[in-house]
Amino acid sequence: MRLTPGAARDIDLDSVNLFDLDLYTSGDPHPIWDVMRAQSPLHHQVLADGREFWSVTRYDDVCRVLGDYREFTSERGTVVTHLGEDDIAAGKLLTSTDPPRHTQVRRAIGAKLTARAVASWQDRIRDAIVRFLEPALDGDTFDLAEQALLLPAIVTGPLLGIPERDWQELVQLTAMVTAPSDPHFQHGSEAATLAISHHELVTYVTEWVKQRRSAGGGDGSLLDHLMSVRVGGAPLTDEEIALDGYSILLGANVTTPHTVSGTVLALIERPEQFEKAQADPSLLANLVEEGLRWASAACNFMRYAVNDTRIGGGTVPAGGAVVAWIGSANRDESYFPDPHQFDITRSGANRQVAFGFGPHYCIGAPLARMTLGIFFEELVQRFGSIELAGEPQHLRSYFIAGMTHLPIVAQKRKTP
């Protein structure tokens, strides 16, 4: 998806198709969302196959849809690739479960992912990121987007308890889930790609659990933690462990690589912003927040209206699917002045909702923030300049805003 919008143009919302994959691969959805926020904050679309959904694009409406589970449930599905199909994992998969069960399970799992808990992993993550960046400094072309897909596995694989020999396969499978129509990851039809990836990922975690149990214990990793979690005095079922392990793998491999690529491209296109970050390390935390806002890697989330619900000046009927466009909320001019400007000195960048909002706010956000903070700290210290070495290639997905290729050439920063 193009992150810097092109020139303003006339847009007929009646002819807009938000499920047109070309809009995200080679198109420009931001001008469309701008018009939707101004003219149609609740927008209804019926697909050619009869499926329908309502879109909210304003910041406040997005937060309401994601934040109020009594009005908008997660238990029929949360991603647009499953529009029209009830989620068979509802009530078992954490992301497809509403409170109070969601709160109970999240609290137990999240104990290992608080900012305080992940702080102890900082040195290991820094070592992994330094090793990741080293090949980019040899003067040759380095495809940052392609290599960054493996970055979460490099960083979190040891923390999850996943052996290095499995990282590449799991990265491929999680990419198949999030971009089942992208030619880099597609196997047969979109439906077949989703079915294969879901089955393989759940099977992987299921087998992992069996092996750990037969070995008589684990090594204290995050997936081991799932096996020890107790909710209401009872352990998670094997199915819940498999599904939540799958969800953790998926989450770890989605936000970080595409935020890295989108933010680095923004810095390449605006070298003065890169220079500001080099000159003032105190701006690095804000760089991360602005990068999260700018890239909005998880482009949207879906919910279903429980009852007829007024929102955005209209009504969503009971049972209607509502798509909350994160990428639009993070460019809402009511909250982010000059929203299409990438500015690491921006005040209020931390109000971005790239990690979602409400009960389902990303459980791995502290780890992702720390990883991104270390990544950009090492980047500005080690890189003197970064230039494009070819055209970026965008992910073919209406769920994830990302890139499959971002060829760069970097020069080492000269030490004083």
**Which residue is associated with the tokens 């990922």?**
201
The DSSP H or E segment spanning 375 is helix 365-382
Structure tokens at 83: 């529009």
Predicted local confidence at residue 218, as pLDDT: 66
> What is 13-412's CATH number, 2.60.120.370, 1.10.600.10, 3.40.50.920, 1.10.630.10?
1.10.630.10
Tens digit of pLDDT per residue, the chain (416 long)?
788 887 767 899 999 999 999 999 999 999 999 999 999 999 999 999 999 999 999 999 999 999 999 999 999 999 898 898 888 888 888 899 999 999 998 988 888 889 998 899 999 999 999 999 999 998 899 999 999 999 988 888 888 888 899 989 988 998 898 889 999 999 999 889 989 998 998 898 888 888 887 877 666 788 888 888 888 888 888 888 888 887 887 877 778 999 999 999 999 999 999 999 999 999 999 999 999 999 999 999 999 999 999 999 999 999 999 999 999 999 999 999 999 999 999 999 999 999 999 999 999 999 999 999 999 999 999 999 999 999 999 999 999 999 999 999 999 998 76
- Strand 300-305 relative to strand 72-73: parallel, antiparallel, unpaired? antiparallel
Cα angle for residues 404, 402, 187 (degrees, 5° grid): 55
Calpha distance 216→13 (Å, rounded):
59
Pairing of strands 383-388, 407-412: antiparallel
Determine the pLDDT at residue 416: 65
pLDDT at 193 (0 to 100): 93
Q: Is the CB of residue 380 less than 8 Å from the CB of residue 278?
A: yes
**The pLDDT value given to residue 255:** 83
Question: Tokens in use for 246?
Answer: 């799958």
The rounded distance, in Å, linking the Cα atoms of 62 and 37 is 11
d(CA 401, CA 403): 7
Predicted local confidence at residue 217, as pLDDT? 63
**What ranges do the domains of the chain cover?**
13-412
Give the model's pLDDT for residue 82: 85
CA distance 242 to 239: 5
Let me know: does 264 contact 271? Beta carbons within 8 Å.
no
* Tokens linked to 326: 């994160």
Greatest C-alpha distance within the chain:
64
Alpha carbons 305 and 320: distance in angstroms, whole number: 5
